Amino acid sequence: KQILVIHGPNLNLLGSREPEIYGALTLPQINADLAEIAANAGAELKSFQSNHEGELVDRIQAARTDGCQFIIINPAAYTHTSVAMRDALAAVALPFVEVHLSNVHKREAFRHHSYFSDLAEGVICGLGAQGYRAALAFALSKLG
Ligand code: DQA
């Protein structure tokens, strides 16, 4: 079982970036936690972060042929702007869950729209890093 978690722009700064909104955990801590949970369930979790839209599109495309069966993605600011990443996810046709650390619906209006949600299996927001764990638990149960 192979699961890919993709983190969009500025999420490399987690831990120091607006911790009152995004929490105190760093991205390596979140990824290590998820990798351990996956390994204990007999699955493999790969993670990828980029601040560049084209690199994110390339990584999503690569998931089509690298054995990945499920994607967990926090597109970060690209949630609200990226038709290109949406199209890449539609092209690879793998099931995915969209995760946001913060509750985007109680923030600025421009964060209320997502280019991903209507393609996603589900959307989790506002649970902080626990949202990734919930998405992973769902992916693991889906993959059986
Ligand atoms: C975010 C919410 C986005 O609106 C924002 O641009 C981010 C992070 C979140 O995880 O809460 O960078 O996706």
- Residue 120 sits in a domain whose CATH number is 3.40.50.9100
- Count of domains observed in the chain: 1
**pLDDT tens-digit series, residues 13-42:** 999 999 999 999 999 999 999 999 999 999
Nearest atom within ligand 1 for CA of residue 102: 11
Residue 103 Cβ < 6 Å to ligand 1 = no
CA distance 103 to 83: 22
The one-digit pLDDT tens for each residue of the chain (144 residues) are 999 999 999 999 999 999 999 999 999 999 999 999 999 999 999 999 999 999 999 999 999 999 999 999 999 999 999 999 999 999 999 999 999 999 999 999 999 999 999 999 999 999 999 999 999 999 999 999
78 is catalytic: no
Predicted TM-score (pTM) above 0.80: yes
Instruction: Report which ligand 1 atom has the smallest distance to the Cα of 76.
Output: 13
For residue 117, what are the domain limits? 2-143
CB atoms within 10 A of CB 9: 16
